[in-house]
């Protein structure tokens, strides 16, 4: 009846030690699909939006979607949902690898972690056998060691591990949850929430494969996999060059944020691009996540002998152009360090970039560096050094660990933090893309590019090419992209599948997996419901709609050079239109009628 859902959630209270399994009502599944949507609904129902994110009253939810752990193409994704310490908004962070599929195979759509342990623990899940175990011996250790050690001592060599590193333990506001050693639920500080609960890791082994409700499922899977394989982006571009294919594209289009977004063209892009990673011989091979026909992951080895995965586009940019650094060795090393220490690479690199601007402007005094390397743009030693210091909150790292906004604010200049709702912006200067700029301003989890990736139509020309500087129709596009992304995140698929698949495809997969007679309109309505639910949660948390804004730089400082020279973001024209398209008041609040229409109480 439930098809590829297990219909069960595992609830573990770390304060009381209670472990229980609960049924998930089918009505919730149909309304919120799973993954991001379903977990957001449980958070909305169970966690007071005013709660301190790092208190025992907050909950940490690991959620799979109906397609997670199935053979559906890219069906290896899971979400970590909680109230976030960096932004104070709802936090939800997506990751691939193999952990999510394994959790599903163990028999659970979701794992809800409550309370707080008084000593370090890990959660052991082997199908129905679930235990809270001591993790004192792992506290302080990196994610790689933790992963290996847990598999070894449990004897479950094929189990999957999601864990935190020292950054999560030390409550760094942008600490990540790392699974399968190299995959990150990176953004919004979900790792700090895990650390606040003294939960070091979750190790899971499952033996139950989900069974679709209809025989059509395999046929639909074959059809969609074929589409992905034949598509020039998902079948060729991403497998060959990974996400770093974007460095040259975004730079040549003049929106590659350089030196803390002071300009949109980086003069040394050729040194750090995806092409360079191949040409320099650092790339060893590709690695695919569970059930993924794309395989965009990069396995790399540096001339120094260091080996790992990455850098992805965002990471390469955050430690590269954003810090003015063109040393691909140092960039990759900082990336590996983030994976092992459990840090979000975007916020880590962008926070260092912000500190560099403050230092160069004479706002951050030299004595505050506490003998650390100079925070000058281009200093490759600095990116590695301060990444380490952030994870351990040592020296200046303690202040940097609060994120760029709080850091810059502590020096009286929050305007130099390139963030929205206190989360650092990713690798696209909004002055070069008006629709994407609107997406930044309205993202429910703060500055983020994967809540409605408008770069796709505005720069890449998929599904059609839009003029990046035009405002026409952009509010409508952003709404559709945000709603569709909520669907993809909730089904348990990878956002990259959307370069080749559309709303009808996601409906086909969901319908075949669950047996539901469901229309594309109903699926998109679920996406809109999820978006509005997140928005209502944020409003209740005290996030003022006035926070739907961008750093002053993008509104008042015209792009100094390159193809977008002279451009600023026209947010005051875009935002009112967006609120209208969303069916919200002109102040940005969902109306009673809208909430009623969506069935949100």
Partner 1 sequence: MDERRDTDRGETKGTGNRIKIEFFATLRLVLGVAGLEIEADGPVTVRQLISIASEKLGTDISAKLMDGDKIKRGTMILVNGKNIHHLNGLDTLVKPGDRVAVFPPAGGG
Contacting positions for partner 1 (CB under 8 A):
232-234, 236-238, 240-246, 248-249, 251-254, 265-270, 274-275, 278, 296, 312-314, 449-450, 453, 455-456, 459-465, 467, 495-496, 499, 561-564
DSSP 458: I
Q: Tokens at residue 28, please?
A: 């919730």
Closest separation in Å from C-beta 450 to partner 1: 6
Scan for tokens 């979900």, then name that residue. Answer: 190
Give residues with Cβ within 8 angstroms of 92, minimum separation 6: 36, 39, 40, 79, 80, 81, 82, 188, 445, 489, 534
> Which residue, 75 or 311, has its beta carbon nearer to partner 1?
311
- For 290-310, the DSSP string reads TT-SS--EEEEE-TTS-EEE-
Closest CA to 580 of 476, 495, 482: 476
- Round to whole Å and give the CA distance between 128 and 503: 36
Q: At its nearest, how many Å lie between partner 1 and the CB of residue 312?
A: 8
Query: 129 phi and psi, to 5 degrees?
Result: -85, 110
| Cβ at position 281, least distance to partner 1 in Å | 14
Q: Which is nearer to partner 1, 36 or 173 (CB)?
A: 36
Rounded CA-CA distance 82/191 in Å is: 10
The smaller minimum CB distance to partner 1, of residues 275 and 394, is found at 275
Q: Which is nearer to partner 1, 414 or 432 (CB)?
A: 432
| Shortest distance in whole angstroms from residue 482 CB to partner 1 | 15
CB of 115 to partner 1, least distance (A): 35
Closer of 4 and 443 to partner 1 (Cβ): 443
Cis bond before residue 311 (omega within 30° of 0): yes
Least Å distance between CB 459 and partner 1?
A: 8
Residue 113 neighbours by CB distance under 10 Å:
24
User: With respect to partner 1, which residue has the nearer C-beta, 235 or 545?
Assistant: 235
* Closer by beta carbon to partner 1, 407 or else 453: 453
Peptide bond just before 179 cis, omega within 30 deg: no
156 in helix, strand or coil?
coil
CB of 434 to partner 1, least distance (A): 13
Least Å distance between CB 174 and partner 1?
18
Closer residue to partner 1 in complex, CB, 53/562: 562
Degrees (nearest 5) of the Cα angle 109, 115, 120? 95
Tell me how far, at minimum, the Cβ of 424 lies from partner 1, in Å. 16
Distance CA 549, CA 572 (A): 9
Place of tokens 């995806």: 274
Question: Which one, 154 or 252, has the nearer CB to partner 1?
Answer: 252
Lateral strand order in the sheet of 199-205: 129-134, 121-126, 199-205, 160-163, 177-179, 183-185
Tell me the two tokens of residue 294: 């794309």
């Amino acid at each position: 009846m439930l098809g590829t859902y297990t219909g069960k959630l595992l609830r573990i209270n770390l304060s009381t030690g209670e472990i229980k399994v609960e049924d998930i009502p089918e009505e919730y599944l149909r309304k919120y699909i799973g993954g991001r949507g379903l977990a957001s609904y449980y958070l909305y129902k169970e966690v007071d939006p005013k709660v301190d994110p790092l208190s025992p009253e907050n909950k940490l939810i690991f959620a799979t979607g109906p397609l997670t752990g199935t053979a559906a193409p890219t069906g290896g994704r899971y979400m970590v949902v909680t109230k976030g310490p960096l932004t104070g908004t709802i936090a939800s962070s997506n990751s691939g690898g193999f952990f999510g599929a394994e959790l599903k195979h163990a028999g659970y759509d979701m794992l809800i972690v409550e309370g707080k342990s008084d000593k370090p623990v890990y959660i052991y899940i082997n199908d129905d056998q679930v235990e809270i175990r001591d993790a004192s011996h792992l506290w302080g250790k990196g994610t790689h060691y933790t992963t290996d050690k847990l598999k070894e001592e449990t004897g479950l060599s094929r189990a999957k591990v999601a864990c935190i590193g020292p950054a999560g333990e030390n409550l760094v506001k942008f600490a990540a949850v790392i699974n399968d050693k190299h995959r990150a639920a990176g953004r919004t500080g979900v790792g700090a929430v895990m650390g606040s609960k003294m939960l070091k890791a979750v190790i899971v082994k499952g033996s139950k494969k989900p069974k679709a409700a209809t025989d059509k499922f395999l046929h639909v899977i074959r059809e969609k996999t074929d589409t992905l394989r034949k598509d020039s982006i998902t079948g060729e571009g991403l497998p060959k060059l990974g996400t770093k294919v974007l460095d040259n594209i975004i730079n040549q289009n003049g929106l590659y944020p350089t030196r803390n977004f002071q300009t949109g063209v980086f003069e040394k892009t050729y040194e750090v691009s995806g092409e360079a990673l191949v040409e320099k011989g650092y790339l060893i091979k590709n690695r695919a996540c569970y059930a993924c026909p794309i395989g965009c992951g990069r396995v790399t080895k540096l001339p120094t002998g260091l080996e790992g995965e990455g850098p992805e586009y965002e990471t390469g940019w955050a430690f590269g152009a954003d810090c003015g650094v063109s040393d691909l060795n140092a960039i990759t090393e900082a990336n590996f360090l983030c994976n092992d220490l459990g840090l979000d690479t975007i916020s880590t690199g962008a926070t260092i970039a912000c500190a560099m601007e403050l230092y160069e402007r004479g706002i951050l005094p030299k004595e505050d560096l506490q003998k650390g390397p100079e925070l000058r743009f281009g200093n490759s030693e600095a990116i590695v050094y301060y990444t380490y210091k952030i994870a351990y909150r040592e020296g200046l790292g303690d202040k940097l660990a609060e994120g760029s906004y709080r850091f810059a604010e502590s020096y009286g200049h929050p305007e130099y933090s390139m963030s929205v709702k206190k989360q650092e912006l990713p690798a696209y200067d909004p002055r070069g893309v008006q629709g994407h700029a609107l997406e930044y301003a309205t993202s429910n989890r703060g500055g983020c590019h994967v809540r409605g990736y408008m770069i796709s139509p505005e720069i890449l020309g998929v599904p059609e090419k839009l003029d990046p500087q035009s405002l026409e129709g952009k509010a409508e596009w952003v709404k559709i992209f945000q709603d569709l992304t909520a669907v993809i995140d909730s089904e348990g698929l990878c956002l990259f599948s959307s370069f080749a698949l559309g709303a009808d495809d996601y409906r086909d997969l969901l319908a075949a997996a669950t047996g539901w007679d469901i229309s594309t309109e109903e699926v998109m309505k679920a996406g809109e419901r999820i978006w509005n639910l997140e928005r209502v949660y944020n409003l209740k948390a005290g996030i003022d709609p006035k926070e739907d804004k961008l750093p002053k730089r993008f509104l008042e400082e015209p792009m100094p050079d390159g193809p977008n020279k002279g451009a600023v973001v026209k947010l005051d024209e875009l935002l009112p239109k967006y609120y209208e398209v969303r069916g919200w008041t002109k102040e940005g609040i969902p109306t009673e009628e809208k909430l009623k229409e969506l069935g949100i109480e």
